[in-house]
Amino acid sequence: MFLTITTTGTPERPATDLGFLLHKHPDNAQAFSTSYGTAHVLYPEADAERCTAALLLEVDAVALVRRGKGKGRGGAPDAALAQYVNDRPYAASSLLAVALSGVFSSAMRGVCAAKPELPSQPRPLRVEVPALPARGGPGLVQRLFEPLGWTVTAEPVALDAEFPDWGDSRYVRLALESETLTLAEALRHLYVLLPVLDDAKHYWVSPDEVDKLLRAGEGWLPGHPEQKLITSRYLSRRWSLTRQAMERLELVRLAETDDTAVEEIDNAVEAEAEAEERPTPLAVRRRDAIVAALGESGAARVLDLGCGQGQLVQALLKDPRFTEIVGVDVSMRALTIASRRLKLDRMGERQASRVKLFQGSLAYTDTRLKGYDAAVLSEVVEHLDLPRLPALEYAVFGSARPRTVLVTTPNVEHNVRWETLPAGHVRHGDHRFEWTREEFRTWAGAVAERHGYDVEFTPVGPEDPEVGPPTQMAVFTLRTTDEKHPHEKRTNEKRTNEKEAKAA
């Protein structure tokens, strides 16, 4: 494993400042032992005009395997020999990243006691990695580094130089050049992106990796066009961690952008979706279907249960048929984003009186949920563990008991039509289950029966003749003549009587 960093300089700003920045003197070759082997730092060239630092990692493959053994997935038993005979010693980018952060930790944080003014100054930098494993090839390397201000050269390395017919290996020869970045920024880019390109961590990814990612990604990851891919790969595709990280990145982005900008981004996203003449995004279709069903039900006072980041609440606010809209979610983080999206703090009094957000769990009955015309559970039930579903059922249909309840959930049969979804996977890491049409109907039918509702089903999104629509929606309507619920019957009778009185 080998990486070099080169800078050029002038007599006033000598290139050898690199030694101060890295806290490693150019005249010495130094060795640092790490848990996986030895990291060497040496300077093949060092004068005022040009200075190159090389980081060479000598990996102890046996130590790597032994260490991995006791540690969760890191020690997953491969074929015995493959553990020893693999490319890790030569190309494990995650090892290189760990070495970078270990050997150059102050440089990465932008600290230089000897010359405190240096770290914040951008300088000409050239980084070379002769053999970088890159899943996604040179194209992805470009997409990752270019938005950060690097000029990228990524050449595929032939599998065997003597046999060009064999094609390319999964390695690229990488050179990055920039005049505008500081060394700390450069190191933080490498620390995150080398393992992302490798896409195979040598250790088990634990939850504190989210913090490490956000720290190293500060200032450049929020808003990076490949933010999602970077986050997901960095966290070894552990969906719950990825989601956590994405939420936190979203908060950072929101904190950095002012509210008009948030609106502009929202508009831009919708406009883009339209311009591309792609089919309307499923989330938009779902929202439209919900608004239409609510309209048909005649509801004016509406609960959005598990409102998430408030997109539906926002749509309902734009429609004067809805006089009171309440968003409820268990996640404070989601509610914070929702409240920023809605600009609750700056809303006119009249608008503000129509909307409320509060934190609550649907696994418990809650008197605040009583007395509304309709409740929406949009893509929420599948986020609860199955054994907790009866609690939600009781809280909504038994206790809150609005006249109309809309429930949407993925139709798992449709997943085979999702090109990017690996077979047998759910659509979202936090989905505890996904139902077939039959399963959803069975559940909804039983719920309706138990609580005195009628239920009808509506497809959402393009309906496939074989596997059905991507989303399924159930519309529950409280039975007006249900003997089991005399209280409801009375109120409904009262309503009818009032109507008749009016008509008379």
Choose the stretch contacting ligand SAH; rule: CB under 6 A; options: 222-230, 330-338, 350-358, 482-490: 330-338
Q: Can you tell me the distance from the alpha carbon of 415 to that of 435, in angstroms, rounded to the nearest whole number?
A: 11
Nearest distance from residue 317's CB to ligand SAH, in Å? 15
Up-side HSE of residue 298: CA atoms within 13 Å toward CB? Answer: 2
> Does 380 sit near ligand SAH (CB under 6 A)?
yes
Instruction: Give the residue from 287, 133, 275, 255 showing the smallest Cα distance to 197.
Output: 133
Token pair belonging to 384: 């609860």
> Does 144 sit near ligand SAH (CB under 6 A)?
no
Q: Can you tell me the distance from the alpha carbon of 351 to that of 355, in angstroms, rounded to the nearest whole number?
A: 7
The one among 17, 329, 373, 393 contacting ligand SAH by CB under 6 A: 329
C-alpha dihedral (75, 79, 81, 87), degrees to nearest 10:
-70
Nearer to ligand SAH, 340 or 383 (CB): 383
Choose the stretch contacting ligand SAH; rule: CB under 6 A; options: 221-229, 305-313, 434-442, 469-477: 305-313
> Does 470 sit near ligand SAH (CB under 6 A)?
no
Amino acid at 499: K
Q: Can you tell me the distance from the alpha carbon of 102 to that of 94, in angstroms, rounded to the nearest whole number?
A: 12
Contact 358, 332 (CB under 8 A): no
User: What are the backbone dihedrals phi and psi of residue 36, each rounded to the nearest 5 degrees, phi first?
Assistant: -110, 0
Nearest distance from residue 455's CB to ligand SAH, in Å? 19
> Does 334 sit near ligand SAH (CB under 6 A)?
yes
First to last CA, the chain: 89
Choose the stretch contacting ligand SAH; rule: CB under 6 A; options: 23-31, 208-216, 327-335, 432-440: 327-335
The one among 9, 217, 308, 452 contacting ligand SAH by CB under 6 A: 308
User: What are the backbone dihedrals phi and psi of residue 492, each rounded to the nearest 5 degrees, phi first?
Assistant: -70, -40
- How many residues bind to ligand SAH according to rule CB under 6 A? 16
Q: Can you tell me the distance from the alpha carbon of 64 to that of 78, in angstroms, rounded to the nearest whole number?
A: 13
Provide the residue count of the chain. 504
Q: Can you tell me the distance from the alpha carbon of 241 to that of 23, in angstroms, rounded to the nearest whole number?
A: 34
> Does 363 sit near ligand SAH (CB under 6 A)?
yes
Contact 2, 100 (CB under 8 A): no
Nearest distance from residue 457's CB to ligand SAH, in Å? 18
Nearer to ligand SAH, 133 or 306 (CB): 306
Q: Can you tell me the distance from the alpha carbon of 402 to that of 504, in angstroms, rounded to the nearest whole number?
A: 28
Nearer to ligand SAH, 427 or 479 (CB): 427
Q: Can you tell me the distance from the alpha carbon of 317 to that of 326, in angstroms, rounded to the nearest whole number?
A: 10
Instruction: Give the residue from 182, 189, 87, 184 showing the smallest Cα distance to 145.
Output: 189
Mention every residue, 6+ apart, whose C-beta is less than 8 A from residue 103. Answer: 24, 32, 39, 41, 55
The one among 8, 169, 331, 492 contacting ligand SAH by CB under 6 A: 331
The one among 100, 127, 197, 307 contacting ligand SAH by CB under 6 A: 307
**Quick one: DSSP state of residue 436?**
-
Binding mask 157-196 for ligand SAH (x = CB under 6 A): ----------------------------------------
Nearest distance from residue 421's CB to ligand SAH, in Å? 18
> Does 393 sit near ligand SAH (CB under 6 A)?
no
Nearest distance from residue 29's CB to ligand SAH, in Å? 53
Q: Can you tell me the distance from the alpha carbon of 401 to that of 375, in angstroms, rounded to the nearest whole number?
A: 9
Nearer to ligand SAH, 14 or 402 (CB): 402
Decide the pairing of beta strands 125-133 and 151-158.
unpaired
The one among 384, 400, 447, 478 contacting ligand SAH by CB under 6 A: 384
What's the distance, CA 163 to chain centroid? 42
The one among 361, 399, 436, 477 contacting ligand SAH by CB under 6 A: 361
Contact 471, 480 (CB under 8 A): no
The one among 379, 393, 413, 434 contacting ligand SAH by CB under 6 A: 379
Nearer to ligand SAH, 360 or 462 (CB): 360
Choose the stretch contacting ligand SAH; rule: CB under 6 A; options: 117-125, 158-166, 358-366, 493-501: 358-366
> Does 378 sit near ligand SAH (CB under 6 A)?
yes
> Does 136 sit near ligand SAH (CB under 6 A)?
no
What residues numbered 85-124 form the site for ligand SAH, per CB under 6 A? none
Nearer to ligand SAH, 198 or 329 (CB): 329
Choose the stretch contacting ligand SAH; rule: CB under 6 A; options: 89-97, 228-236, 300-308, 318-326: 300-308
Radius of gyration for the alpha carbons in the chain, expressed in angstroms and rounded: 29
> Does 461 sit near ligand SAH (CB under 6 A)?
no
> Does 383 sit near ligand SAH (CB under 6 A)?
yes
Nearest distance from residue 432's CB to ligand SAH, in Å? 10
The Cα-based distances of 353 to 239, 345, 346, 388, 465 in angstroms read 38, 12, 12, 33, 45
For binding to ligand SAH (CB under 6 A), which residues are involved?
306-308, 311, 329-331, 334, 361-363, 378-380, 383-384
